[in-house]
Structures are given as C-alpha cells and as structure tokens.
Amino acid sequence: MSSVQRKRFQHRLELFGVRLVTGLLGILPLRWSVALGGVLGRIAFDLLRIRRSVTLTNLERALGSTLTRGERIVTARRSYINFAKSMVEFALLGHLAPQRLRSLVRLRDFHHIDRALSNGSGALVITGHFGSWELLGAATAANGYPVDFLVGQQSNRLVDDLMNELRRKAGIGIISRGIAARGVLGSIKNNHIVALLSDQDARRMGIFVDFFGTPASTFQGVAQFAYRTDCPIFCVFIIRLDDGTHDAVCLPPIEVRAGADRDEEVRRLTEEHTRRLEEYVTRYPEHYFWAHRRWKTRPPATGVS
C-alpha cells in the first residue's frame, strides 16, 4: 500500500470513527452526552495528558501572577472538560432543532448587532476558542440571524466536509479561506453576519499585538475587512452555566474611525478585539482553549517568546 493509499484509508477510518461517535451520542439525551464529553475531557487531561504541558505553560504565562500552580492545574482540567463538552455539542448540532437551540443559548445584548443590520452595514463578529463557539454560531442562526462562518480547512477533507455539513444543517453559511476576501465582502454586502475566530497564531502573516502582556502574531483580516467596508466589529462570547445552558454576550461595537490611516487603524482594531478577548479569558479562564500554541511565532526584531 502506497503512502497516498494509507493516508486515504486513515482519513476514511477517521471519518467512520467520527460518524460512529456522533451517532452513538445522538442516541443519548443531550445532558448525558455532554456529561460524557466532560468525562472524556478529564481523561484527556489527567490520564492521556494530551498537550498538558503546553496548556499549563500558557496558563502560567498568562495568569501566573494571579493563580497558584494548583489553581492552574484545576483551571486547565476545567478547560479540557469544557472543550470536550463543546465538541460534543458541535457533533450534535444535526440533532438540535432551532427551538432547542434557542432554549439552550440565550442571546444577550444582541441589540448592538440588530442596529448594524438595520443600517444595512452587515456585521463582523469575532470570538476566540472560548466556550462552545460552534454552538454560539448555531444558536445565532436559530434566532433568525443570517450567519456565515469563515473557516479553515482540516487536513482530513472527509472530516472537514462533515464539519461543514453540520454547520450548514444548523443554518450557517460557509466561507472558505481560499475565497475569503470575495466571500466576506459578498456576505457583508448582503447584510449578513460574518463570524470568525481571532486567536490562532498567524505566523508571519499576522501583526504582533499584546495578549496577556506578550506579543502574539494575530490575524489582521477582520480589521482589514472592517476598514475596507466600514463594517463594525462585534466581540461575542458564549459562557457555559451550571445548569447546562449558555449565555452569549455581545459587546458594544468597535467602530472604524473615518479618515484614519489604514495601517494605524488596522493595528488599533486588532489590539482592541484582542484586549476584549483577554478580558473575558481573564474572567472565565476555564472557558478558554489553552492547548493552542498562541505565542509560537516570535517578533523578528525582539525575539520575545
């Protein structure tokens, strides 16, 4: 068997595994499935120790002055539990009717977005790997908002297609990064919400802005789109509550300043939405996905890690 054939077989096997798990979870009541996800998250952290050292290092870098080592371990474990629960909720989107989604997630302060859409300007919604972000998009669509996701592509195209199929079933439009500019501009022109994540390492394509006091390479696309279209940016964060429901909080818009220099404005907008993410991560550190190497790329001049 050639390497290409082995890869294809592996991808088919992964797809079968994902569909099998999703099907089994769909048989159980949602609360049981989400609870099972929490157990798997604990196993991943305590037994399998997947990216445990990366997670704890990131927590120490960001919150080391406010949390003891024991508190960082507890926070990291809760982060894994929340992430696993969120992935279960994503996997079950095809089983959740719009009415169920509306009861599961309460939209708070979305009048900010209502105002932008009533003006016909569209809306750029930005969040991070925070809480159940896929559920956030599905719940927004279930409440009648026209939502398009700007998504990257997974290495396994079969699994990638399945993920986008789940999003489409939830009423979410898909914009591939391969056609990002045309897709985003078209969505804004059609007065849609374009939602994207802001907190992955952008490597050399990004600009460096402080995230918890350390320069982090950050994608500037959302700021570029905002500047080009005069479309406001909204930071929205979904918070898991003890009863299993969620609050989705929309912050006031970040507006583009008329006549501002493009480079300066792109930096300001990027700094501001990163600052808002940092604020919510500080308030709810167990909601954040700390396993990502957020500070992997170093600024070329300073060499800060």
Half-sphere exposure of 123 (CA within 13 A, CB side): 26
Does one domain contain both 224 and 259? yes
Q: Which of 58, 91, 124 is the last residue of a domain?
A: 91
- pLDDT above 70 coverage of the chain, percent: 97
pTM here is: 0.93
Does one domain contain both 227 and 162? yes
Quote the CA–CA distance of 119 and 113 in Å, as a whole number.
10
Helix intervals (H) in the chain:
3-27, 30-46, 52-63, 69-91, 98-104, 111-118, 133-142, 157-169, 180-189, 221-229, 262-283
Does one domain contain both 58 and 112? no
Q: How confident is the model at residue 18 (pLDDT cuts 50, 70, 90)?
A: confident
Query: Is 52 a member of any domain?
Result: yes
Does one domain contain both 216 and 273? yes
Q: How confident is the model at residue 21 (pLDDT cuts 50, 70, 90)?
A: confident
Q: How confident is the model at residue 263 (pLDDT cuts 50, 70, 90)?
A: very high
Average confidence score pLDDT of the chain? 93
In the chain, the amino acid numbered 236 is V
pLDDT at residue 1 above 80? no
Query: Is 304 a member of any domain?
Result: no
DSSP string, 47-60: TS-TTHHHHHHHHH
Question: How many domains are contained in the chain?
Answer: 2
Q: How confident is the model at residue 303 (pLDDT cuts 50, 70, 90)?
A: very low
Does one domain contain both 26 and 161? no
Q: What is the mean pLDDT of residues 163-189?
A: 90
Angle (CA) 173-91-202 rounded to 5° is 60
pLDDT at residue 240 above 80? yes
Does one domain contain both 107 and 81? no
Quote the CA–CA distance of 157 and 22 in Å, as a whole number.
18
Q: How confident is the model at residue 301 (pLDDT cuts 50, 70, 90)?
A: low
Query: Is 210 a member of any domain?
Result: yes
Total number of residues shown for the chain: 305
Query: Is 298 a member of any domain?
Result: no
Contact 187, 150 (CB under 8 A): no
pLDDT at residue 33 above 80? yes
H/E element, 247: strand 246-250
Does one domain contain both 81 and 112? no
Pairing of strands 207-211, 173-176: unpaired
Query: Is 303 a member of any domain?
Result: no
H/E element, 216: strand 214-218
* Residue 302: per-residue pLDDT: 53
Query: Is 295 a member of any domain?
Result: no
Closest by Cα among 176, 128, 122, 186 to 152 = 176
Does one domain contain both 114 and 87? no
Q: Which residue has the higher pLDDT, 208 or 204?
A: 208
Report the range out of 17-21, 96-100, 196-200 with the highest average pLDDT: 96-100
* Residue 197: per-residue pLDDT: 93
Query: Is 302 a member of any domain?
Result: no
Q: Which of 91, 125, 146 is the last residue of a domain?
A: 91
β-bridge partners, 195 = 125, 149
Does one domain contain both 170 and 40? no
Half-sphere exposure of 283 (CA within 13 A, CB side): 12
Q: Which residue has the higher pLDDT, 60 or 64?
A: 60
Q: Which of 91, 122, 154 is the last residue of a domain?
A: 91
Quote the CA–CA distance of 162 and 16 in Å, as a whole number.
11
Contact 108, 136 (CB under 8 A): no
Residue-range definition of the domain harbouring residue 84: 1-91
Does one domain contain both 71 and 129? no
Q: What is the mean pLDDT of residues 149-164?
A: 86
* Residue 23: per-residue pLDDT: 83
Does one domain contain both 22 and 131? no
Contact 167, 137 (CB under 8 A): yes
In the chain, the amino acid numbered 243 is D
Does one domain contain both 276 and 212? yes
Q: What is the mean pLDDT of residues 81-101?
A: 96
Query: Is 237 a member of any domain?
Result: yes
Half-sphere exposure of 67 (CA within 13 A, CB side): 22
